[in-house]
């Protein structure tokens, strides 16, 4: 079965094509046969196949046009991997917000599209981009089955005390509650950790740390998310690349009253100008923060120390509801590639008996254990493989086969 995955972000559109042969999913994450991404800011389209890598400059900023130009590279030019679009059996979309209704991968029908549209006020950048992708496929591929895999779904069954904000209860009833995000990745990493450790997922108390430009933790018990750091929006929780994470909400009231901020300027401040970028004044990118620290930059060092402090505090805050910790997983750009941050976090939990193996930590490649054999907590690095998780979940839905994922 050939599955096309569309993963729309705020500033990018990624897509890849997987082929699943036979009646079960492969044990290891397969290489996609075609992989592409559009950076909307630079209008660059990049395509990789098993044979070739190509960059194309898009002629306009029009997103539906850009998506169809991207998909055309599947069936024409040097990157051609299919004779026609009919060869695609299934299209799956990462949809950022599924609200409270959608707690699993769902076949896209008119009412699901309507629900994604109704949730636009809660995900004003992402849900419209997801709808654009769904509609582009309808135009180009006609009646191919489409599946939505929701980033909120894994967290949809968190206990009420985790979900409700301490505001007057009527706001909860109006939908102001904690939803959580990055769920596809957290769920995948928890399952993959159990697979690597050869233990039943249900027996493990796991914290997954997704540390990319956006950062969040999930606490997983009995295979379910029982807590996560992102909330009503992906702004809550950890310090991130350009997002502040949690701050005293009275700061916003103060800025509104004393500095003439409004909704748009607050949005910009908190989502685009804060986090590593805001504190360091140098970059949102952890690689550049580290390079600046090596040059002796004090604000870059402060940004790193704050990032780790907040990360450790958030991990600590999840321990009581988990009732302990068996596994800590690091994933995404920083989680997978930054041994120093893993070491700094690990040091904070030595009192629990968590011990990293310095050699394994420094040389970790994809999907490996980096704790020492006598560590009380297994620490793993896992490639987030979000696109594969989206493909696999939709394959399971369509084939009604829950075998090994």
Q: Which residue of 65, 287, 298, 309 would you call a contact of ligand ADP, by CB under 6 A?
A: 287
Q: Which one, 325 or 328, has the nearer CB to ligand ADP?
A: 328
Q: Which residue of 48, 54, 162, 337 would you call a contact of ligand ADP, by CB under 6 A?
A: 337
Closest approach of Cβ 85 to ligand ADP, in Å? Answer: 28
Closest approach of Cβ 334 to ligand ADP, in Å? Answer: 4
Closest approach of Cβ 12 to ligand ADP, in Å? Answer: 8
Please say if 118 is a catalytic residue: no
331 CB-contact burial (10 Å; exposed 0-12 / middle 13-18 / buried 19+)? buried
213 binds ligand ADP (CB under 6 A): yes
Integer Cα distance of 338 and 150 in angstroms: 28
Residue 218 tokens read as 């999930």
> Taking contact as CB under 6 A, which single stretch among the options 40-48, 211-219, 299-307, 358-366 is the one that binds ligand ADP?
211-219
212 binds ligand ADP (CB under 6 A): yes
Terminal CA-CA length for the chain: 16
Q: Which one, 216 or 393, has the nearer CB to ligand ADP?
A: 216
Pairing mode, if any, of strands 146-150 and 90-95?
A: parallel
What residues from 116 to 145 belong to the interface with ligand ADP (CB under 6 A)? none
Q: Which residue of 115, 122, 207, 286 would you call a contact of ligand ADP, by CB under 6 A?
A: 286
> Taking contact as CB under 6 A, which single stretch among the options 29-37, 216-224, 315-323, 326-334 is the one that binds ligand ADP?
326-334
204 binds ligand ADP (CB under 6 A): no
CA dist list (Å): 310 to 217, 313, 315:
11, 5, 9
> Taking contact as CB under 6 A, which single stretch among the options 19-27, 133-141, 264-272, 285-293 is the one that binds ligand ADP?
285-293
Residue 307 CA to its chain's centroid (Å): 18
Q: Which residue of 20, 334, 354, 390 would you call a contact of ligand ADP, by CB under 6 A?
A: 334
The residues that bridge with 18 in the sheet, in sequence order, are: 3
Closest approach of Cβ 269 to ligand ADP, in Å? Answer: 20
Which among 27, 72, 151, 285 is annotated as catalytic?
151
Q: Which one, 32 or 212, has the nearer CB to ligand ADP?
A: 212
What residues from 229 to 258 belong to the interface with ligand ADP (CB under 6 A)? 241
Q: Of all residues in this chain, which one has the CB nearest to ligand ADP in the complex? A: 333
214 binds ligand ADP (CB under 6 A): yes
Closest approach of Cβ 319 to ligand ADP, in Å? Answer: 25
Q: 112 with 166: CB under 8 angstroms?
A: no
10 binds ligand ADP (CB under 6 A): no
Q: 142 with 134: CB under 8 angstroms?
A: no
Residue with tokens 């009412």: 111
**Exposure string over 127-142, b if 16+ CB within 10 A, otherwise e:** bebbbbbbebbeebbe
> Taking contact as CB under 6 A, which single stretch among the options 38-46, 57-65, 143-151, 212-220 is the one that binds ligand ADP?
212-220
Residues 31-70, one symbol each (x = binds ligand ADP by CB under 6 A, - = not), give ----------------------------------------
What residue ranges bind ligand ADP (CB under 6 A)?
212-214, 241, 285-287, 332-334, 337-338
Residues known to be catalytic: 151
């Amino acid at each position: 079965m050939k599955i096309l995955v569309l993963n729309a972000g705020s500033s990018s559109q990624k897509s890849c094509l997987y082929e699943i042969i036979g009646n079960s999913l492969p044990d290891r994450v397969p290489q996609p046969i075609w992989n592409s991404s559009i950076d909307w800011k630079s209008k660059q389209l990049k395509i990789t196949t098993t044979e070739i890598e190509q960059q194309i400059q898009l002629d306009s900023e029009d997103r539906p046009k850009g998506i169809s130009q991207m998909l055309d590279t599947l069936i024409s030019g040097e990157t051609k991997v299919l004779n026609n679009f009919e060869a695609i059996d299934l299209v799956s979309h990462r949809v950022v917000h599924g609200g409270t209704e959608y707690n699993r991968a769902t076949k896209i029908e008119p009412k699901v599209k309507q629900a994604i549209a109704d949730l636009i006020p809660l995900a004003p950048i992402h849900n419209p981009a997801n709808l654009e992708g769904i509609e582009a496929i309808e135009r180009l591929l006609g009646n191919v089955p489409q599946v939505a895999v929701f980033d909120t779904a894994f967290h949809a069954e968190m206990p009420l005390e985790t979900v409700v904000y301490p505001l007057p209860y009527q706001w909860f009833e109006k939908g102001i509650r904690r939803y959580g995000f990055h769920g596809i990745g957290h769920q995948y990493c928890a399952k993959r950790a159990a697979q690597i450790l050869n233990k039943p997922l249900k027996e493990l108390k796991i914290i997954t740390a997704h540390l990319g430009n956006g950062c969040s933790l999930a606490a997983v018990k009995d295979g379910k998310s029982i807590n996560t750091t992102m909330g009503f929006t992906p702004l809550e929780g950890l310090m991130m690349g350009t997002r502040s994470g949690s701050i005293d909400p009275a700061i916003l009231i103060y800025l509104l009253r004393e500095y003439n901020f409004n909704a748009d300027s607050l949005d910009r401040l908190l989502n685009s100008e804060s986090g590593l970028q805001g504190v360091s004044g140098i970059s949102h990118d952890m690689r550049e923060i580290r390079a600046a620290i090596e040059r002796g930059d004090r604000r870059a060092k402060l940004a790193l120390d704050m990032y780790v402090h907040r990360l450790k505090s958030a991990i600590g805050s999840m321990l009581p509801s988990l009732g302990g910790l068996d596994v800590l997983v690091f994933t995404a750009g920083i989680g997978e590639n930054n041994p120093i941050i893993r070491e700094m976090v690990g040091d904070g939990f030595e009192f629990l008996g968590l011990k990293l193996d310095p050699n394994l930590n420094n040389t970790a490649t994809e999907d490996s254990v980096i704790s020492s054999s006598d560590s009380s907590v297994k620490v793993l690095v896992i490639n987030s493989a979000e696109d594969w998780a989206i493909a696999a979940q939709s394959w399971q839905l369509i084939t009604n086969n829950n075998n090994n994922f």
